[in-house]
Amino acid sequence: MTTRGRAGGGATLMADSIAEEFTSYYDRPILKPPVWRELHIGGYLYLGGLAGASSALAAGGELTGRPSLARATKLAALAGITLSLAALVADLGRPARFVNMLRVVKPSSPMNMGSWLLAAYAPLAGVSALTDLTGRFPLVGRVAGYGAAVLGPAVSTYTAVLIGDTAVPAWHQGHREMPFLFAGSAMATAAGAALIATPAAENAPARRAAVLGAALELAAGRLMRRRLGMVAEAYERGRPGTLTRAGELLSLAGALTALAADGRPGRGRALAVVSGAALMAASVCVRFGVFSAGVASSQDPRYTVVPQRARLSTPPS
């Protein structure tokens, strides 16, 4: 293995040296790969991000007098959290398994805290969207909408903490940057949905959120892979690598198109739709890329053993 020039020169050289001598018992994996189904849990990761960030964007539309933006993002939040919960329950197998997680409160468990977070957020998102659609109980709807906006950032990012708390190398060793990657991805996809569904006269906040979200997503992803050392290979090879590169290209294209749509009353609407579609597709690629990289890293024992041996062999600074 060649030196990759990633995080920490001494530690990287040590890891490369250990990797060259590495052998495993019949090349068998050390970790059991995640048993989660990719479509369900990849969708769960993506849709939760869409929902949480959409609620925050909806509150901004409400506060700045943009009713079309507020309504579109409230509906996106409701659709996102509904489908996200459906994907989660489908993977669990029975709805009762989700309910059982609410029988205790365990702050040390990201899964338990995430279950309570979803149980609090989903009704707020639902009330906010339905009262806006019906025009009834507007005060209740506004209070629910602001409550969903407060919980939205946590809904968008808690799954990063959840997977980072596992032993899967590509997830656990990227736990510092993963929440920022998920936050940027969520912001970009929520902005993308708003750009598609909102008239050009009201989508200025969505354009700004699109650029900011894409920039955060790109920067956090690059920083995470740089710090991962050899484990970054899991994000750069095979199917995860294809998804990661596609996500980066689509994010960049979506952000640039959002910028190009600004101040173009004639072509702005078409550009906004193209930008929104690119940003949403980018976020799908990012979430499924993270999932598949985790599975790949758990199947190769090098990614578990070599970094551990390098840490043990590196003298404390």
Per-residue pLDDT tens digits for 4-41: 444 445 455 445 544 445 555 566 677 788 888 999 99
Considering only CA atoms, which of 219, 223, 287, 213 is closest in space to residue 255? Answer: 213
Cα separations in angstroms, 247 against 97, 147, 224, 278: 33, 31, 15, 9
Lookup: tokens for 286: 């990012």
What's the confidence (pLDDT) of residue 313?
67
Place of tokens 């959840």: 162
Rounded to an integer, what distance in angstroms lies between the CA atom of residue 139 and that of residue 107? Answer: 32
Higher pLDDT, residue 241 or 302? 241
Look at residue 56 and tell me whether its pLDDT is greater than 50: yes
Instruction: Identify the band that residue 104 occupies on the pLDDT scale cut at 50, 70 and 90.
Output: confident
What's the confidence (pLDDT) of residue 35?
84
pLDDT tens string 65-75: 999 999 999 99
What's the confidence (pLDDT) of residue 221?
97
Rounded to an integer, what distance in angstroms lies between the CA atom of residue 294 and that of residue 271? Answer: 35
> What pTM was computed for the model?
0.88
Considering only CA atoms, which of 206, 251, 212, 186 is closest in space to residue 48? Answer: 186
